[in-house]
Amino acid sequence: MTATTSAVAPRRTRRRLPVGFEILLAILAVALVQTFVVKPFGVPSQSMEQTLLIGDRIIVNRTNSDVERGDVVVFSHGATWQEAQLPESDNPLVKVARKVGDLTGIGPSNTAYTVKRVIGLPGDRVLCCDAEGSVLVDDEPLAEPYIHQDHAFQAPDLTCDTTPRSSRCFPEIRVPNDRLLVLGDHRSQSADSIVACRGGTVSDGCARFVPMNRVVGPVVFRIWPLDTFGRVNVR
């Protein structure tokens, strides 16, 4: 009997990518997800209480470009709402950190972000208040169960017709094309679109608006704290 031997195929070893390249791919994946799908943000102020609290971590849906009245949205800006980016830093380390933050969404970036609720859409006429102290959009009062600690308004002693006027009141403002008027849910503690208009009777130049192309997206989830994890009840 003749013995036969079978050839044993050599084991193929998997070639690992260099560690630096793997890190680069991970950063690229994070950047793509945050640019086109979802992006996390932290809530730094009390202006959206009780819907969002200081320290909450929220997720914004970047795939949804539709904006409706009542949506809670995150938008980008610079040192002011009129500017697109923050002033450039003279510190080279800060410059690098900001570029990394722009790419990964982690740490500082060249853009500031604010979260508010959409009240006025392009072309809307927004004013406050009617006899019950409600905000009016195109002469229709809004039902706003989410408001927390509004400015004082008490008929007949403190309204839009008394002297002094209630600081809840602001004159009629027409929202320009491609702009949004936004307010905070914690009305008495919110530096929003009409903060400079409150108590006044003339609207010329007092309001500031959000360009629609600066809206990152609507807030859809709260991921921190864990005991409040889930969809954000925005309306």
pLDDT of residue 7 exceeding 80, the answer is no
Q: Is 155 part of any domain? A: yes
Q: Is 3 part of any domain? A: no
**Residue 118's domain is classified under what CATH number?**
2.10.109.10
Structural domain for 148, as ranges: 40-235
Q: Is 28 part of any domain? A: no
| Cα–Cα dist 149/189, whole Å | 8
43-95 pLDDT, tens digit per residue, is 999 999 999 999 999 999 988 879 999 999 999 999 999 999 999 999 999 98
105-146 pLDDT, tens digit per residue, is 777 899 999 999 999 999 999 999 999 999 999 999 999 999
Confidence (pTM): 0.85
Q: Does the CA dihedral 21-22-25-31 come out positive or negative?
A: negative
Burial bucket for residue 112 (CB in 10 Å: 0-12, 13-18, 19+) = middle
pLDDT at position 33:
56
Q: Is 20 part of any domain? A: no
pLDDT at position 84:
94
| Cα–Cα dist 230/49, whole Å | 17
pLDDT of residue 204 exceeding 50, the answer is yes
| Cα–Cα dist 182/99, whole Å | 29
Residue 103 · residue 23 · CB < 8 Å: no
Q: Is 217 part of any domain? A: yes
Q: Is 193 part of any domain? A: yes
Token pair 């009305």: residue: 187
pLDDT of residue 1 exceeding 70, the answer is no
pLDDT of residue 176 exceeding 80, the answer is yes
